[in-house]
Structure 1
C-alpha cells in the first residue's frame, strides 16, 4: 500500500520560555485532546542545533512500539493495536496487532509506502531482522518465529518456529520480556528472562544465565557490546550495565545519583500513577516512572552524541540524554547531559515516546505511541489516582494513532543512499566493518556470521591490524562468529595497544578456552594489565572456569587491585548469589515434594516479576538514592506474620503507607491467577530471601479467596490488620 503524509515538516527554530533565573517556564494549560500533526511536531523542543522530522504517522502506523531496519533499509514497525483501548484494558489479547514494513521510495526521508508484513498477532513486542527473515515474538508466549517474504510483495508468506518453549507467561504486559537484539558478541539478548540465544542452522539455541538480568521494556547495546537495561516497575531508568548479564547481575548504588533519576518535563503532568508525591509544586513529574525503550546513539551524523544513552520517558513526555562515564577503577556511571533539563521534551499531552534507535542513515529515531493512556489496567482503575486523572481529561478516548520521528542536526545534508547490504557478498561486507555508523558495522557482521563463509578469513585477519580499533574489534568477533579465529590472531589481540581491543580479546577467550585451554597462559599475562576494564573482563572470563589457574588469577586480582571497585562488587555479588542458591537448595531438601514444588515455582515467578520492584534478594532496589520504590521483603514482619494478609494482598493488591512509609507505587493484584500460583509466590518469599516462616498451601489461598469474595478494591494496611488478626 502507498500512503503519503500531508506534508514534509520538521520542528521550527524556537525557544522555550524562561524566567529571570533561566529556568524553563512550565506550560500549565496544555490541551488533552489531539493536536494536528503540525501542531504536535511544533510542540517538541530540542537543544539548539537539533530538530525533529516526522517520518511516519497514522494511518500508516498505529500504536507503534518498536522499530528495526533490515539489510535493505526497510523499516519494520511493531504495532500494539489492542493496548489499553479503554481504561479497563478490555480485549487486549485479541490477535489483531501487526508488524508493518515501511519504505521511503523517493528518497525524501519520509516513509511513503507500507505493507502489513505480519498480521493477526497478539501484542508483538520483539522484532529483529536477520537477513531476508524477521524474528518476531508475541506477548504471553516464549516462542520465537521467523517470517519471510518469498515473492517480493512485502507480505510474509513463510513462517517457521526458531525457538520453542511451550510455557506461557501470565505476567501483565509491563513484566513481559523485550529485546531480541544482536549484540557485538553474536549473541541475541532479551530482557527479563535468564537466557540469551545463539542462531545456528535456522534455530535459536539458548544459553542459560546463573541469575536473571532484570530489566523490562527495552535493551540497548553500545559499540563495545555493553548492555543497558531499564525497569519501569522499580522506577530505575538504567540498570545492570556494569557487566554482561551472562556473568550475573551487579549494580552499584552510586552508578548514578538521585539527580539523575529526577526528570524535567516542560508541561504539567497530572496523569501519574504515583499520585501527588510524584509531582513537583509546578505539577511536573519529578522522577522517572516509565523509563525504558533506551538506545545508545551509534550513528555518524551527530558525532557529539556518539556513545550517549537515550532513555524515553512516556509519562513525562520527554527523552533523556545521558552521558556514559568510564572510570579508571572499571566502574561506569551516568549523568544527565543537561542541568535540570532534557534533550527532548514536548508539551503535547499525547506525546508518548516508547522507543528509540539509531537508523541506517546515522540519525536518531524516536517512536511515539501517541495516545492518552500509557499504563496497564491494574493501575488505571476508576478509583485510583491515575484512573481519576484519565477520566477527568478523557485520555481514554485518545487511541489509534502513532508517530515516528527522526532527530537531525540543523546542518543536516540529504543522503538518499540505501544500505543494500542484503545483496552484498561476504567479501564485500567486510569493508563495512570500517563504517563510522555502528548500524552498518553490526549489520555487516551479523550477515557474515549468518552466511558462515570462511573464505573471508584472510580479509578479516588483515582487518585485525586496521588503524581503526572498532574495525579490529568487529573483525575479531566476526572471525569468532564464523568459527575461523585462530590462536595466533587472538594472542596478538590480547596484547593490542588499545585496552578496548584487549578487553574484547579477553571476552572472546571465554569461548576459546573451551576448545583450547592453552590460551590460559596468555590470559595469565594480563593479570597486571594497566587497564581496570581489561582486568575486570579477565575476572569475568575466568568466573565459570574450573581450572585451578583461573581461580588463582581471580584471587590475585582481588588481592592486588582492591581499587577495582566494579570487579570487587561483581565477585562479592556472585559469591552472595552462589551461597544463597546453595542455602535454598539445602532448605528445599528438607521439604516434602509438594512443598518443594511450590517453592520452586514461586522462585521462578518471584525472579521474573516480583524482583523488579522488591529486588532479587528481597532487600529492595536502591540505586541512585535512598528511597525504595517498593518495601523490602527480607525480614519483613508482614511477610513472616499471618500469611492470610499476604494472600489478601496478592489477591486484591495493596496501596497506602506500610509501616508508616509511603511508597510511590501500588502493589497490583494477582488474583486472576489460580490458588497454586498465589501459594507458590508466598511460599517462596516466606521460606527464602532471608525469611524463615512456613509455606502456604493452595487450600489456604482458596479459603481467603472465599472470605474476600466480591472485593475489588486495593487493601490498605489498616484494613488488613482489622480483617486478619
Structure 2
C-alpha cells in the first residue's frame, strides 16, 4: 500500500483495497451426446445453464412477448427495441422466409424490476429486420436484402411507429444468403455508424445523414462491437473466426496479426453433445460428441457495464449458438498487440444443456448488466446448409428440430453481490445535463450521452466539454478507480468533434496528456490539420515518435497517411526504422503504404488495357467480393488460413476452376460446391444463385480479372443458369468436370 493511501485511510477518506468477487468455474456435467430437444419453459431452461459461482441469469422477456428475437437496443429512457425474424427457418427448407411479416417490438419495464411488463408491435410487415439503432426518439432500421436505412418514430406515444422516412437509399438489392448480409449499426466513439458487409459508414447529426467510404470496405457477419477506444471487433461464422479486425480502428483498414487469437482459443467447451453441426462428427466433433471448433460465432460484445465484477469490464463475450455457449475472452495487450485468451481453463463463461438455447447476441445494458438474446429454436443454420444431401438435414428431422419454432428469450446476467442499476432517463435531459454522463462508469451511458448531445447540436456545452478535456487527472483513477477521468476526457474530445469543434490548441495540449488513451485521441483528431499540411501540428507529432506507449506511436503511424508532405514521409520512415521489429507498428506502416496504393488502385492498373465493359463489371465485382467472399477466400483471393497448412476455402489465384471454362465457375457460383477439391476437404461453398445474372457475372469477372483472363457477361450467366433451372443441390467437381 502506498503512502498516500495510508494517509487517506488515516483520514477516514476511503480504503485502497478493491473487493474480490466470486468467479469460480462450475463443475461440468457428464456429456450427453444425444440430449432431448423438447421445448422447455424459461424457468426450466434456466435450470440447464452453467455459470461461474456468483453469477446468475435472470429472465427479462420471453414468448409470447417476443418471438424469434435476433437483436436488441435501448433508447435513452431504457425502452427496449427487439428485432424479430419471424419467418426465419420455419421448416427445414426455409419456405416463406422472404415474406414481409417480421416485426420490431417495443418492450417497457414499468416497475423497474428488470423484467419487461409491456410489449407493443412498434413496426410490422418487415422483411427479416437485422439492424436497429435508436437515435433520440427515432429508430433506424435496416431489412435483409436491402441497403436502405429507414427512420421510424412514434409521434403519439402509443408504442407504435406512425412516421417512416427513408434516410439513406441504395437501389441495389443486397444478394447472398442470410449469413452474407449486414449487421451492426454501431454508433462508434468516432461518431460514425459502422456495419458489417458494407464499404460505407454513416454519420447522423441534427442536419441529417452523411456517408463516407472505408479503405478496405467491411467484412464480418452477424455481430459488431467496440471497445473504449472505438476499435471494432468483427466475427465470421462462415470463416469460423471468433474475432478479427480489432487491432486498429476500422477507418484505417483491417490489421490482423499472427497470434492475436491465442493457442487453443478456438476450441470451445460445450456441456452437451452437438449432433446438429454442419460437416458431421468426423470433421466437427470431439470424441465426446461436442463441438471441436467455433463455427456459429455471432453477436459478440465488449462488456462495458458497471454492475458485474470489475474484472469483466472490457472482456469480449462471444455467443456460439451451435455450441449453446458464450465464451468470455480476456484481451491482453502484448507490446501493443491485442491477444485474446479464454478467461477459463477448458470451460466457458456460460453453457447450457438445453438444445434449443441459441444465443445470437450479447449486449451491455443500461442497468450495467450483460444481456443475452436467445432465439430459442431448433434449427439455427440457414437453409443453404439444410438442403437435400447435407449432413444437417437428416439430423434435424431425426431430432425434430424443425418443429421447434416461434419462441424466444431475453436474459440478463447479474452477480449475486452487485445490484443492477435503475432505468435511465436521458431523452428529456438538456445537452448540459448530458455532459455529466460522459464520465459514467457504464459505457452504455457514456455512448448514449455523447450520441444525444451530438444529435441535439447544442454548442452551448462547448466550454464545459473543453474544461473536461483540459483536465489532466490520473491520480484518482490509478489509486481508487471510482471514476476514470481520462476516459471521460476521451468522450469529451470526441463529443467536441461531433459538434464540429476541433480546437487546434486543445489538440496540441492533449498530445501531452498524462494518459495514453487521451494522447491517441488527440492524434486522431489532428488528422483534419494533417490534411491541410499544418506545420505546427506536424512539429508536435514529430515528438510523439518518442512516446513511451507503443499504441500511441502506432496511432501516429496510422494518422500520418493523411499528410502528403515530405515531413510526413520522413517521420514515417523514422518511426519504421525505430520500431520496425514491433509487429503492430510494422503492420500499420504497411497499411499506410497500402492506403496510397490500395487494392482498388492495383485493380484499376490491372484493367488498364481492358474494354470499358470489362472494367466496370470487374470494379463492381470487386465491391461484391469484398463484401461477400473475403471472409473465406481472403483479401488476396488466396484463401484464409485455418491453422497450419490448411485454408478455410481454396485459393482462387491460379485455380483451374477460375481460369478454365467460364461455365464451371458460374455453375459453382449459382449452385455451390461440395466434396473434395484437389484432394482436400473445405466444407460447402454456398450457392449464390439467389442473386441476379449481373451480380454473378460481375463477381466472376473480378475473380477472373485477378487471374488475367476474360470477363463473364451477364448473358452468359443467363444461358448457363437456364441449363439447370430446377437444380437445388450443390455441384461436385466430379459432375462439373465430366
Q: Report what 1:169 is aligned to.
A: 174
1:292 aligned to which of 289, 292, 298: 298
Asked whether the 8 Å contact 1:256–1:624 carries over to 2, the reply is no
Q: 1:419/1:625 Cα in 2 relative to 1: closer, same or farther (>3 Å)?
A: farther
Deviation per residue, 1:276-326 (Å, 9 max, x gap):
201111111111111020111001112110000011110001101011111
Deviations 1:636-661 (A, max 9, x none): 23322333322221222111111111
Instruction: Find the partner of 1:671 among 646, 671, 689.
Output: 689
Residues 1:658 and 2:665 are matched in the alignment: no
Moved more, 362-371 or 630-639: 630-639
1:43-81 superposed Cα distances (whole Å, 9 cap, x missing partner): 111111111001100010111011111111111111111
What is the TM-score when the length of structure 1 is the normalising length? Answer: 0.93
Secondary structure of 2:318's counterpart equals: strand
How far apart, CA to CA, are the structure 1 residues paired with 2:472 and 2:586? Answer: 34
Cα 1:707–1:187, aligned 2, differ >3 Å: closer, same or farther?
closer
Contact map agreement 2:142 2:150 (CA 8 A) in 1? yes
Conserved in 1, the CA contact under 8 Å of 2:217 and 2:626? yes
Alpha-carbon separation, structure 2, partners of 1:703 and 1:476: 57
Q: Out of 513, 516, 520, which is 2:538 matched to?
A: 520
Which residue of the partner structure matches residue 3 of structure 1? Answer: none
2: distance between equivalents of 1:450 and 1:624? Answer: 46
Equivalent residue number for residue 341 of structure 1: 347
Residue 34 (str. 1) matches residue 39 (str. 2): yes
The SS at the match of 1:281 is: coil
1:271 equivalent to 2:289? Answer: no
Task: Tell me the secondary structure at the aligned position of residue 299 of structure 2.
Answer: strand
Give the match for residue 662 of structure 2.
Answer: 643
Matches within 5 A, 1:582-661: 582-622=601-641, 626-661=645-680
* Pair 1:667–1:36, CA change in 2 (3 A): same
Equivalent position SS for 2:305: coil
1:375 aligns to 2:389 (yes or no): no
Which whole-Å deviations, capped at 9, do the CAs of 1:371-391 have from their partners, x for residues lacking one? 111111111113210112111
Match of 1:155 in 2: 160
Aligned partner of 1:180 in structure 2 is 185
Q: Tell me what 1:256 maps to.
A: 261
Following superposition, the deviation at residue 563 of structure 1 comes to 2.5
Distance in 1 between residues matched to 2:452 and 2:518, nearest whole Å: 22
Offset of residue 466 of structure 1 = 5.7
Residue 32 (structure 1) shift: 0.9
The aligned counterpart of 1:556 is 574
Alignment of 1:191-270 (within 5 A): 191-270=196-275
Larger displacement relative to structure 2 (304-313 or 630-639) = 630-639
Alpha-carbon separation, structure 1, partners of 2:507 and 2:664: 58
Match in the other structure for 2:482: none
Provide closer, same or farther for how the CA distance between residues 379 and 447 of structure 1 changes in structure 2, counting only shifts above 3 A.
same
Q: For residue 698 of structure 2, what is the aligned residue in structure 1?
A: 680
Relative distance call for 1:697 and 1:147 in structure 2 (3 A) is closer
Partner residue of 1:546 out of 553, 556, 564? 564
CA gap of 1:77–1:625, structure 2 versus 1, over 3 A, is: farther
C-alpha contact (below 8 Å) 2:511/2:522 kept by paired residues = yes
2-structure distance, mates of 1:516, 1:150? 47
Separation in 2, partners of 1:150, 1:709: 48
Q: Would the aligned equivalents of 2:368 and 2:420 in 1 still touch at CA under 8 Å? A: no
Take 1:441 and 1:466, find their aligned partners in 2: how far apart are those partners? Answer: 19
75-84 or 85-94, which moves further after superposition? 85-94
Counterpart position of 1:364: 370
Residue aligned with 1:619, SS: coil
Name the Cα RMSD after superposition: 2.0
Checking the alignment, whether the CA contact within 8 Å between 2:139 and 2:151 is kept in structure 1 is yes
Q: How many residues align?
A: 700
Q: Which residue of 1 aligns with 2:515?
A: 498
CA distance in 1, matches of 2:224, 2:526: 25
**How far 1:353 sits from its partner (Å)?**
0.2
1:571 aligns with 589
- Cα displacement (A) at 1:576: 5.1
Seen in structure 2, the aligned counterparts of structure 1 residues 626 and 368 have a Cα distance that, compared at 3 Å, is farther
SS of corresponding position for 2:629: helix
Does the 8 Å contact 1:292/1:355 carry over to 2? Answer: yes
**Who is 1:477 aligned against?**
494
Distance in 2 separating the partners of 1:147 and 1:83:
23
Residues of 1 paired with 2:651 and 2:178: CA distance? 24
TM-superposed deviation, 1:516: 7.9
Deviation at 1:258, TM superposition (A): 4.8
Return the offset for 1:567: 2.1
**Equivalent position of 2:15 in the other structure:** none
Question: Which string of whole-angstrom CA distances, capped at 9 and with x for unpartnered residues, describes residues 140-197 of structure 1?
Answer: 1111111111111111111222212222112221111111111111111111111111
Seen in structure 2, the aligned counterparts of structure 1 residues 348 and 512 have a Cα distance that, compared at 3 Å, is farther
State how far apart, in whole Å, the 2-side matches of 1:93 and 1:698 are. 25
Distance 2:736 2:512 in 1: 63
Shift of residue 701 of structure 1? Answer: 3.4
Structure 1 distance, partners of 2:306, 2:210, is 33
How far apart, CA to CA, are the structure 2 residues paired with 1:670 and 1:253? 31
After superposition, what is the alpha-carbon deviation per residue over 1:65-99, rounded to whole angstroms, capped at 9, x for unaligned?
11111111111111111111111112222121111
Show CA shifts across 1:595-628 (max 9, x none).
2233223222211111121112111112665532
What residue is the counterpart of 1:4 in the other structure? none
Match of 1:309 among 311, 316, 320: 316
CA contact (8 A) 1:122 1:139 kept: yes
On the 8 A contact 1:248/1:574 being kept in 2, the answer is no
Q: What is the SS of the residue equivalent to 1:260?
A: coil
- Aligned equivalents of 2:367, 2:601: Cα separation in 1: 50
Take 2:570 and 2:62, find their aligned partners in 1: how far apart are those partners? 58
Residue 712 of structure 2 corresponds to which residue in structure 1? 696
Instruction: Note if contact 1:79-1:99 (Cα within 8 Å) is conserved in structure 2.
Output: yes
SS at match of 1:292: coil
Query: Any gaps of 5 or more consecutive residues in structure 1?
Result: 1-12, 19-23
Q: Distance in 1 between matches of 2:710 and 2:278?
A: 34
More displaced stretch, 574-583 vs 592-601: 574-583
Greater shift, 520-529 or 39-48, is seen at 520-529
Determine if contact 1:219/1:295 at 8 Å carries over to the other structure: yes
Change (3 A) 1:381 1:623: closer
